[in-house]
């Protein structure tokens, strides 16, 4: 990496990724590494500074995350956060103790000594604390720079360029925290704000071009943001030598198969092989009602279809004297971090498609152009690549598609009913200008029939659920308080326009305890 880099060592805090995001917002590249990483790996990145994250442990726990104490002697500027402060205190000769009163949540901090870390800040800070231990004795050379009514809030050894705060500057609940991080990264580490989308795009294209040379690559497109941005970046590097495979799995939204193809070919100029496998998927799904079984069928069928198509492309290229040697995947940074976290792989790495069935002599090598990026950064890159808003700002859509929104058996008739209802929800949410404000908004088809009346006719038809949620990241979500007139319009349109549905209900369950999807 030819750009300024800050290394964040992860001691297991739930906020570690936030530190990386804040730093990237200053256009400075930052990497999260598990605290147990070898010193050589840190040095290989040639970082301008180190940040030690928070963590759930006490430095005295027998299984406390163990970083090599030599990180403290590299001569780099260091900022310790929460557990990071305690780690520094402990390993530099101070004393960490269990605090008489633990501090969780909001706290007021008074800055008692000038420090460049706090340059430009007011003398009292409102901060977010979350710790049980505190620094009872400071290591030699360190001075107390800020305190709460109860305890140490910040310490510094300006000569050794070491700073540490007991609170969390990376969370939104510490309003001046961004300034603290900015002071550290830009002033104290001297990082240059050069990691811009333009820089990322140019360097990625150049790297892929060099990696792939005159080779060929394939890519599975889902129509979503990640795979599309990955494909566009790679196609900018190698043009038509990238072939994208887009599969109709029978549970896409209304007209999605044709509209995605059109966008990918006409607007993005991608070389797309579209495979209509709807019948094949629906045949496998016949009679299946268990949610996990549906997911597994769709996953394994996708791999089978993808492999078939990849083999065809591979054979065609080979007979033309060319070789497909690369597979493009839209892996994002959170997947990479999670798979190497301090706790070991907490999640199995999400692979968009397992290529287990491909011919052994294909030996595809991976290109993952987005593996350094967070989702919002991918969107920013997509926008800068000139990709249309309908792709960049799309709400998430699950891989198993409408299958996990059709409770009970998935049949072509029930898919068609849900597609119609879902299209109405999407159109109305869009017309109300809420599409981007909501994390997701969609319809769910229940295996529940109820009695109704239309005209003079008694009806007995299915129930549809409207689900609309607000969320930052999909991990937690609130049901959205949609305006009554919008609810009324959606409900009356669905009941009058969609044959097979005579009742619409609104899901007012947050996550947790609910999930966003119904299966």
Give the integer Cα–Cα distance in Å for 195 and 215.
29
Distances, alpha carbon 39 to alpha carbons 63, 85, 114, 139, in Å: 20, 19, 32, 23
Residue number, 169 or 398, with CB nearest to ligand XMP: 398
Tell me the window of 79-87, 124-132, 455-463, 508-516 that interacts with ligand XMP (CB under 6 A).
508-516
**Could you say which of 91, 131, 134, 168 is catalytic?**
168
Task: Check if 323 is active-site.
Answer: no
242-248, strands of its sheet edge to edge: 272-276, 242-248, 216-221, 324-328, 365-367
Task: Check if 82 is active-site.
Answer: yes
Tell me the window of 22-30, 184-192, 318-326, 395-403 that interacts with ligand XMP (CB under 6 A).
395-403
Cβ within 8 Å of residue 252, ≥6 positions away: 223, 260, 401, 402
User: Least distance from C-beta 394 to ligand XMP, angstroms?
Assistant: 11
Cβ within 8 Å of residue 377, ≥6 positions away: 24, 197
Task: Check if 134 is active-site.
Answer: no
Distances, alpha carbon 132 to alpha carbons 96, 101, 189, 511, in Å: 10, 8, 30, 29
**Could you say which of 90, 103, 131, 170 is catalytic?**
170
Q: Does 473 contact ligand XMP by CB under 6 A?
A: no
Tell me the window of 76-84, 143-151, 319-327, 510-518 that interacts with ligand XMP (CB under 6 A).
510-518
Question: Using CB under 6 A, which residues numbered 290 to 309 contact ligand XMP?
Answer: 295
Tell me the window of 19-27, 71-79, 121-129, 397-405 that interacts with ligand XMP (CB under 6 A).
397-405
User: Least distance from C-beta 191 to ligand XMP, angstroms?
Assistant: 34
Residue number, 414 or 467, with CB nearest to ligand XMP: 467
Give the integer Cα–Cα distance in Å for 248 and 305.
10
Residue number, 62 or 512, with CB nearest to ligand XMP: 512
Question: Using CB under 6 A, which residues numbered 318 to 357 contact ligand XMP?
Answer: none
- Here the tokens at position 101 are 């009163």
CB count in 10 Å sphere of residue 12? 18
Considering CB under 6 A, how many residues would be counted as binding ligand XMP?
A: 11
Whether the Cβ atoms of residue 28 and residue 188 lie closer than 8 Å to each other: no
Cis peptide before 121 (omega within 30 of 0): no
User: Least distance from C-beta 515 to ligand XMP, angstroms?
Assistant: 3
Whether the Cβ atoms of residue 52 and residue 219 lie closer than 8 Å to each other: no
Give the integer Cα–Cα distance in Å for 385 and 368.
17
Give the integer Cα–Cα distance in Å for 189 and 50.
9
Residue number, 408 or 474, with CB nearest to ligand XMP: 474
Give the integer Cα–Cα distance in Å for 113 and 91.
24
Cβ within 8 Å of residue 201, ≥6 positions away: 233, 236, 381, 384, 385
- Position among 69, 345, 357, 396 found at the interface with ligand XMP (CB under 6 A): 396
Tell me the window of 247-255, 333-341, 393-401, 456-464 that interacts with ligand XMP (CB under 6 A).
393-401
- Position among 23, 400, 422, 443 found at the interface with ligand XMP (CB under 6 A): 400
User: Least distance from C-beta 476 to ligand XMP, angstroms?
Assistant: 9
Spell out, one character per residue from 432 to 451, where the chain touches ligand XMP: x when CB under 6 A holds, - when not.
Answer: --------x-----------
- Here the tokens at position 369 are 């152009």
- Position among 399, 408, 452, 500 found at the interface with ligand XMP (CB under 6 A): 399
Spell out, one character per residue from 100 to 139, where the chain touches ligand XMP: x when CB under 6 A holds, - when not.
Answer: ----------------------------------------
Residue number, 321 or 512, with CB nearest to ligand XMP: 512
Give the integer Cα–Cα distance in Å for 133 and 94.
13
Cβ within 8 Å of residue 240, ≥6 positions away: 271
Classified as helix, coil or strand, 82 is coil
Residue number, 295 or 375, with CB nearest to ligand XMP: 295
Residues identified as active-site: 82, 168, 170
- Which residues are near ligand XMP by CB under 6 A? 295, 396, 398-400, 440, 474, 511, 515-517
């Amino acid at each position: 990496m030819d750009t300024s880099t800050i290394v964040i060592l992860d001691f297991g805090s739930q906020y570690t990724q936030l530190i990386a995001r804040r730093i990237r917002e200053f256009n400075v590249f930052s990497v999260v590494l598990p605290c147990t990483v070898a010193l050589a790996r840190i040095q290989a990145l040639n970082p301008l500074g180190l940040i030690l994250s928070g963590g759930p442990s006490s430095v005295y726990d027998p299984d406390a995350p163990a970083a090599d104490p030599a990180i403290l002697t590299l001569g780099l500027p260091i900022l310790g956060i929460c557990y990071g402060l305690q780690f520094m205190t402990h390993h530099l000769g101070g004393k960490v103790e269990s605090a008489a009163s633990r501090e969780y949540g909001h706290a007021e901090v008074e800055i008692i000594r000038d420090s460049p870390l706090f340059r430009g800040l007011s003398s009292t800070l409102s901060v977010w604390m979350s710790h049980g231990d505190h620094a009872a004795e400071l290591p030699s050379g360190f001075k107390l720079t800020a305190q709460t009514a109860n305890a140490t809030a910040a310490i510094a050894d300006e000569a050794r360029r070491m700073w540490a705060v007991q609170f969390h500057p990376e969370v939104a609940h510490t309003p001046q925290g961004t300034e603290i991080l900015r002071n550290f990264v830009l002033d104290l580490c001297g990082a240059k704000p050069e990691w811009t989308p333009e820089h990322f795009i140019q360097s990625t294209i150049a790297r892929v071009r060099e990696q792939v040379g005159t080779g060929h690559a394939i890519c599975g497109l889902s129509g979503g943001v990640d795979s599309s941005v990955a494909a566009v970046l790679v196609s900018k590097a190698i043009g038509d030598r990238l072939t994208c495979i887009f599969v109709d799995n029978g549970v896409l939204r209304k007209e999605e198969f044709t509209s995605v193809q059109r966008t990918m070919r006409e607007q993005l100029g991608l070389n797309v092989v579209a495979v209509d496998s709807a019948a094949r998927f629906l045949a496998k799904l016949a009679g299946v009602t268990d949610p996990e079984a549906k997911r597994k069928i769709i996953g394994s069928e996708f791999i089978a279809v993808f492999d078939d198509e990849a083999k065809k492309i591979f054979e065609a290229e080979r007979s033309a004297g060319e070789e497909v040697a690369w597979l493009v995947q839209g892996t994002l940074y959170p997947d990479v971090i999670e798979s190497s976290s301090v706790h070991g792989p907490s999640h199995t790495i999400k692979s968009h498609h397992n290529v287990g069935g491909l011919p052994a002599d294909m030996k595809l090598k991976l290109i993952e152009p987005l593996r350094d990026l967070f989702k919002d950064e991918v969107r920013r890159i997509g926008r800068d690549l000139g990709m249309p808003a309908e792709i960049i700002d799309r709400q998430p859509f699950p891989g198993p598609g409408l299958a996990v929104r059709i409770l009970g058996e998935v049949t072509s008739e029930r898919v068609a009913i849900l597609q119609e209802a879902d299209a109405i929800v999407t159109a109305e949410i869009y017309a109300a200008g809420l599409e981007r404000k909501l994390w997701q908004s969609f319809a769910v088809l229940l295996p529940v029939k109820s009695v109704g009346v239309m005209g003079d006719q008694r009806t007995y038809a299915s129930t549809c659920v409207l689900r609309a949620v607000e969320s930052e990241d999909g991990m937690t979500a609130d049901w959205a308080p949609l305006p009554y007139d919008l609810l009324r319009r959606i409900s009356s349109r669905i009941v009058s326009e969609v044959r097979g549905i005579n009742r619409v209900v609104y899901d007012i369950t947050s996550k947790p305890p609910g999930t966003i999807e119904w299966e």
